[in-house]
Amino acid sequence: MSAPAVASLSCPQCGAAIELRTLDQALSVVCASCGSILDARDPNLHVLQEFKARQKFTPQIPLGTRGTLKGKKWEAVGYQVRGATIDGTTYYWEEYLLFNPYEGFRYLTQYDGHWNDVQVVKAAPAESMSGGRPTVTLHGETFKHFQTASAETYFVLGEFPWQVRVGDRAQTRDFVSPPRMLSEERTDEETTWSLGTYTPGAQIWSGFGLPGKPLQARGVYANQPDEFMPRAGSMVKRYLLFVAVIVGLILIRLVTASRETVFATNAAFFRPAAPADSLAFVTPTFTVRGRTANLEVTTEAQVDNGWAYFDYALVNEVTGTTYEFGREVSYYYGRDSDGNWSEGSRRDRAVLPSVPAGQYFLRVAPEAQVPTDFLEYRIVVRRDVPTLTPYLIVLALLALPPIFMALRAWGMESARWKESDYAPTSDDDDDDE
């Protein structure tokens, strides 16, 4: 035999039928028809408060709906709309009271499409300060103070294990450690703490079999878990793996690159003051063998507080293919109040990315401005030399997604705290300082 789960009563004010779902747990029950708040303890249900809400609200989870939340069955038995007025604007949120005779009570709260699954905690958490802000610690988890507000009850429906009234006021303090939130509610009679867990609206919709779709959540809620941070974290991990692979490839390249010298001049001189035309020359033909690889042209000029510019053309003797490029070498040094200084380098390295095998010569047109009459220079051409640039470009490109994700995480975090008591001061305030 099983015991009845509901008691059927009627409203003394309007006569409408009232079902009591929490039986002896109920202290007040609201007549769904006339809105009177009745004393559920009194067999005659005397009126505690006549309907005085300024506005009627309709619960998104109709009272009496049963659903499953985290594997447990619950029935929606009570509904409150509460609000807090901050800087002249009232922000409303909904609170659903859930009941299971074997589990007791539980709450769901909803604000701007953000849902929390809330349970009362019996003990007050330990309070302390961190970085000038209050924190509380419960079971080893530290929660940061988010907001202090005054909550007022605007609308009630269903039944409650306490004497509810429209106009009830409580001082609230919220502390967050996403996805959890510890909230304190203080009235003259008592102080209660509750622990909320951020719950996607879709989970409540499917758990309670509600029609349609939940309201799209707007903004970032106090204890909304940061979805970007863990993603940024896994991206960084993947990126570090890429770095390791690329470092491996660089090492392989350093070992396998042939660095074969295909041409080198001896140390030679030219006279910078001579007419430009007379300085241009052509090198002997040299052979580039093997597969198509890069070709490195090293220009070394013994410039002292001066510069030299080499206009190059690498010409394939057979096909006539020409690679034109210009290189500058400059080196300055001296001594000032900070000590010795120097700038530039006497050696320059240019890499032509892919040059096929063949017979080549260089056409060279040098010019220079140096304090000496003659300038010593040397040109060395090597094929298949290791270069880092392409690897660095790949690494830089691969770094973009994790950086982007980290920026979004940072953006979410600042959006979260913008709604708190610790919102950064506005730009106007900054200008005044």
- From candidates 71, 123, 336, 428, binder to another protein by CB under 8 A: 123
Residue 294: other Cβ atoms inside 10 A: 16
Q: Tokens at residue 193, please?
A: 């703490």
Smallest gap from residue 82 Cβ to another protein (A): 20
3 touches another protein by CB under 8 A: yes
Restricting to residues 39-78, which ones interact with another protein according to CB under 8 A? 41, 73
Three-state DSSP state, 405: helix
* 198 Rama sector, left if φ>0, alpha if ψ -120 to 50, beta otherwise: beta
Each residue 7-46 as x (binds another protein by CB under 8 A) or -, in order, gives x--------------xxxx-x-------------x-----
103 touches another protein by CB under 8 A: yes
Smallest gap from residue 107 Cβ to another protein (A): 12
99 touches another protein by CB under 8 A: yes
Name the H helices within 257-301.
276-279
Smallest gap from residue 9 Cβ to another protein (A): 11
Restricting to residues 160-199, which ones interact with another protein according to CB under 8 A? 161-163, 189-190
320 touches another protein by CB under 8 A: no
Closest CA to 298 of 387, 390, 388, 377: 377
Q: Which stretch binds another protein (CB under 8 A): 86-94, 98-106, 341-349, 415-423?
A: 98-106
Q: Which residues pair with 91 in a beta bridge?
A: 84
Smallest gap from residue 43 Cβ to another protein (A): 9
- From candidates 54, 139, 213, 335, binder to another protein by CB under 8 A: 139
| Distance, C-alpha 214 to centroid of its chain | 25
Residue 350: other Cβ atoms inside 10 A: 16
Alpha-carbon gap, residue 320 to 8, rounded angstroms: 103
Smallest gap from residue 164 Cβ to another protein (A): 12
Q: What is the CA radius of gyration of the chain?
A: 39
Over the range 351-387, which residues count as b (16 or more CB within 10 Å of their CB) and which as e? bbeebeeeebbbebebbbebeeeebebebbbbbbbbe
- From candidates 62, 104, 248, 424, binder to another protein by CB under 8 A: 104
Alpha-carbon gap, residue 421 to 142, rounded angstroms: 18
Residue 148: other Cβ atoms inside 10 A: 14
Smallest gap from residue 65 Cβ to another protein (A): 13
248 touches another protein by CB under 8 A: no
101 touches another protein by CB under 8 A: yes
Residue 197: other Cβ atoms inside 10 A: 16
Smallest gap from residue 179 Cβ to another protein (A): 20
Q: Tokens at residue 352, please?
A: 């032509």
Alpha-carbon gap, residue 303 to 169, rounded angstroms: 84
Q: Give the residue with the Cβ less far from another protein, 122 or 335.
A: 122
Q: Tokens at residue 326, please?
A: 């210009």
Q: Give the residue with the Cβ less far from another protein, 83 or 125.
A: 125
1 touches another protein by CB under 8 A: yes
Burial class (CB in 10 A: 0-12, 13-18, 19+), 12: middle
Alpha-carbon gap, residue 387 to 399, rounded angstroms: 20
Smallest gap from residue 1 Cβ to another protein (A): 7
Smallest gap from residue 407 Cβ to another protein (A): 38
Q: Which stretch binds another protein (CB under 8 A): 146-154, 155-163, 255-263, 396-404?
A: 155-163
Q: Which residues bind another protein (CB under 8 A)?
A: 1-5, 7, 22-25, 27, 41, 73, 99-105, 120-126, 138-140, 161-163, 189-190
